[in-house]
Amino acid sequence: MYYRFIIVLYCALLCLGGCQNQPNNTATPNGQEGKLLAGRWRAVLQLDDDPDPSTRLELPFNFDLEHTDKGYQMNIINADERIEVSEFFFPNPDSIVIKLPYFNAEIRAQINERRMVGAWYNFDKGDDYVVPLYAVYGDSSRFHIPTTDSVVNVAGKWEVTFIADDKSSKTDAIGEFKQEGSRVTGTFITPTGDYRYLEGIATDHEVMLSCFDGSHAYLLVAGMNESGDLNGDAWYGKHGREIWLGYRSDAPILPMEGQLSEMAEAQFSFQFPDLNGNMVANTDQRFAGKVVIVQIMGSWCPNCLDETRLLVELYQKYRQQGLEIVALAFERSPDIAVSRPILERYIRQTGIKYPVLLAGGADKKSASAALPQLNAIKAYPTTILIDRTGKTDQVYTGISGPATGEYQQFVADFEGRIQQLLKQAGS
């Protein structure tokens, strides 16, 4: 009966309108639509179609909801990260649309004061990318598990290998975990990025981790054998699945061969339209004699978001000393009419003050063709640091973001190099 109730409400949700149409009717929680209770909520994304709740594949996350003078504010919780959400729409008194920040995604649900039943829509992955969602008020747990007298210890660093479900490929990674009692937080660092903020729990025989940030939806479960090794599964949204293996290591090393983008020419040039269709090129006067950071990114990319936040801070700090930044956005749609409103929202929410250019489609093959000065685009973001003479100084492939133990050192090294280049004379 419970599952049938969810399906009925979920089907009703799908009748709310076209996938990317903005709701016409909006309201604030000061009116009739203000039913949702303030406090801690537990949400679950259903990743499969299993009708049995005891075996259903579910990805949990938590959020706090509060009432403000302007309406609601939600804070999605992943370990130390808090994602502020403030765009709420009410097509009718018993339904809600929550536009998730930064990414082209939203939650649509039927509601009462203690429940949401609906779905997460990730339009960056297609109009048909819909994952059922259920949320309940007053539940602060992340994973529901029986209490145990002892739990496995996963704190520390791990050598990790992710293997595609069909065994066609594998990726090496470093696992970094912190543990307090049964609560586990951490991330995985790959040669081109990281899994951002993961949070979960350890039991007497396994570890369970999850993350939801509007774009990522990660669920990782692994059992620990008698030798202390980890063996489990990783699910990415409703489609991706990998096997993962972990082995303790005091000093794990990532093999980087073949993973890095490199310059095929001494100088990096670009010429792409801004969001108004005006061409912007590296030969423009605003870049002459400046230290220039070129960020190759996409608004759909969570690791790019981490780097964008850093670049916004650096631009504010060093712009008057001769730093310029330009973002080359490779979007899901190369059509400016489609991508412009998505990028404008991204710019507004991140506080970007430097040019953002629409450079092409998001697939790496197209991006590599658009930028022949590089041997290839191996990761988003890829970042190019150019000195005052226009010569490429360094190329950075990917980023280990603020969820990793490497981030603070990366920021110190990156900012230090910018300072050195700013002190050098131009041509």
User: Please, are residues 124 and 104 in contact by the beta-carbon 8 Å criterion?
Assistant: yes
Q: What is the pLDDT of residue 166?
A: 84
Flag whether 334 is in a domain. Answer: yes
Torsion of CA 413, 390, 330, 220, to 10 degrees: -20
Label residue 53 by pLDDT band (50, 70, 90). Answer: confident
Q: Which of 108, 137, 166 is the last residue of a domain?
A: 137
Evaluate if pTM is beyond 0.95: no
**pLDDT surpassing 60 at residue 191:** yes
| Cα–Cα distance for residue pair 16/9, rounded to 1 Å | 11
Instruction: Tally the domains of the chain.
Output: 3
Residues 321 and 362 in one domain: yes
Residues 133 and 160 in one domain: no
**What's the rounded mean pLDDT across residues 61-71?**
93
Residues 209 and 337 in one domain: no
Residues 35 and 161 in one domain: no
21-25, 137-141, 142-146, 273-277: the lowest-pLDDT one = 21-25
Flag whether 235 is in a domain. Answer: yes
Residues 323 and 213 in one domain: no
Residues 291 and 416 in one domain: yes
First to last CA, the chain: 74
For every residue of 148-203, DSSP letters joined together read: -S------EEEEEEEEETTSS-EEEEEEEEEEETTEEEEEEEETTEE---EEEEE-
**What's the rounded mean pLDDT across residues 364-387?**
91
Residues 243 and 289 in one domain: no
pLDDT averaged over the chain? Answer: 90
CATH number, residue 289: 3.40.30.10
Residues 237 and 299 in one domain: no
Flag whether 143 is in a domain. Answer: no
Flag whether 7 is in a domain. Answer: yes
Residue 393, number of CB atoms within 10 A of its CB:
18
Residues 395 and 310 in one domain: yes
Q: Which of 216, 248, 280 is the last residue of a domain?
A: 248
Flag whether 105 is in a domain. Answer: yes
Label residue 426 by pLDDT band (50, 70, 90). Answer: low
Flag whether 266 is in a domain. Answer: no
**What's the rounded mean pLDDT across residues 343-368?**
95
Instruction: Give the tokens for residue 110.
Output: 């039927």
Q: Are strands 323-331 and 291-297 parallel, antiparallel or unpaired?
A: parallel
| Cα–Cα distance for residue pair 194/211, rounded to 1 Å | 12
Domain extent, residue 389, equals: 271-423
Structure-model confidence comparison of residues 48 and 323, the more confident one? 323
Burial tier of 368 (Cβ tally within 10 Å: 0-12, 13-18, 19+) = middle
Residues 113 and 197 in one domain: no
Label residue 22 by pLDDT band (50, 70, 90). Answer: very low
| Cα–Cα distance for residue pair 76/64, rounded to 1 Å | 7
Q: Which of 137, 165, 200 is the last residue of a domain?
A: 137
**What's the rounded mean pLDDT across residues 282-286?**
96
Q: Measure Cα distances from 31 to 70, 111, 112, 135 in Å.
A: 11, 15, 14, 22
**What's the rounded mean pLDDT across residues 226-255?**
94
Q: What is the pLDDT of residue 8?
A: 44
